[in-house]
Amino acid sequence: MGFLFSFSWSDSTRAEPANPPNPARPFGFLLDVPSAELSADLDEVARLGAGWVRLSGQCGLDWQQVEPVPGRLDWRRTDQCVKAAAQRGLSVMVTVQAANRGYGARRGYVPRNLRALSDFLANAAERYDGDGVADAPGGLIVSVWQIETEVDYPANWPDSPGNYATLFETSYKAIKAGNPNARVAVAGMMSPAGLDKYAKIMNYLDRGLGCDIFDLHWNNTGGGDYRLQRTWRAGHVTLDNYVAEAVGLLGPPRDRTAELWITETSTSDSANPDDNQRTQAAEILKRFVYALRRGASAVAWTGVRDRAGTRQPADYFNRSGLIDAAGQKKLAYYSFALMTEKLSGCDATNLEVVAETANARVYRFDRTTGRENRPIWVLWNDGLSAETFSLRLGSTGPVRITEAVPQAGLRRGAEIRNPSNVFNVKNLQGTPGTLRVNLPPGMPVYVE
């Protein structure tokens, strides 16, 4: 393809209704950054066209920080974080840290004073429900509350699975008392190695009947791709098996009430062998679309920009952002923005599997813009050589084919001089109803 895609690019943020999370905007970001850096990251989230954000860690809800002295609550930091997201039209999920020394509640253990925790969370849910009663200034809304994170990681939760279930059940009831419309999520599972621990937790919770969202994390810290993760303790695990086993913890389909979310997914541009900016950019579309295909209702990338950190491997999360430490956009930044541009208005719950062969993946979305409903197909090839796929369009009108990774020859985002001409595109004036699409390996494409 020798054509250039004229990409509509703007540095202005996009503002749309923030609540509840919209199935036509399932693309989000996890942010765990200092409050002073949050606004800059949220500006990028909005420019990238994401629909929601998970505020965790440094910008989540920390009981100790809000109530450092029993009975004395200071909501200013939490108000600031939630307001900053809401101002940019983003739905908000907040992760709760249920530790507070003033009440004898240690990090990673069920609080001894569950009544105090219940009162705190009920107040928080009421404060951020937007009903006009005892609200935060501006009527801020938190749609989803998550109770702790990655409790399969012993450093995060050395306490027992049964005690986490007690913490979750207490928190769930308190949040629902403060805001019956809020949804409550179980702590995200760090990796497939946590399935045994979460099986015990969900058994205590009557197989998930008392939770609204079950969260998985799919970061390739050990290497792999959108379908396969090489974990430190569980060996090679596929996303298909991971999701199937996780969903199995929620009981039989007829009784299942919880949605599946993936609130952390990422790949690196250089931390693992064979990682580079082009492979990272190619993974963007595949990671999000395939997660939706496997049943996730919402998916979030882990962080906007590279950060220094101490996790192992030490450099993975330093290199998994879409903006590097020097502030330069990577190729994946442009691929993410193109994805939201192309799939905006597509209800992910209506994703159609057109084909899944040995190498080809073909999915169709129905995109609504104004009064029009037009399909858009996403295709890629997992093989090692190019393949041709015959796509039945059901129409003989004009067709546009757009590559999902910036032009061949670009190795880094720093090489891009004109963001309005980043992607190769081929326009066809008419087809006989069937289109033969050339799929080079590692290059997802959109067909409209």
Residue 23 has what pLDDT? 72
Residue 314 has what pLDDT? 54
Q: Each residue of 30-62: pLDDT tens digit?
A: 999 998 999 999 999 999 999 999 999 999 999
**Which domains, from first to last, does the chain contain?**
12-346 (3.20.20.80), 354-447 (2.60.40.1180)
Above 80 in pLDDT, residue 309?
Answer: no
Mean pLDDT of 382-406: 92
Q: Each residue of 174-206: pLDDT tens digit?
A: 999 999 999 999 999 999 999 999 999 999 998
List the single range of 68-72, 331-335, 412-416, 430-434 with lowest mean pLDDT.
Answer: 430-434
- Give 233's pLDDT tier (boundaries 50, 70, 90): confident
Q: Each residue of 235-252: pLDDT tens digit?
A: 789 999 999 999 999 988
- Give 394's pLDDT tier (boundaries 50, 70, 90): confident
Percentage of the chain with pLDDT > 90? 77
Q: Token pair of 414, please?
A: 């720093």
Residue 25 has what pLDDT? 87
Above 50 in pLDDT, residue 362?
Answer: yes
Above 70 in pLDDT, residue 125?
Answer: yes
Mean pLDDT of 316-343: 95
Q: Each residue of 95-118: pLDDT tens digit?
A: 999 999 999 999 999 999 999 999
Mean pLDDT of 414-435: 90
Q: Each residue of 285-297: pLDDT tens digit?
A: 999 999 999 999 9
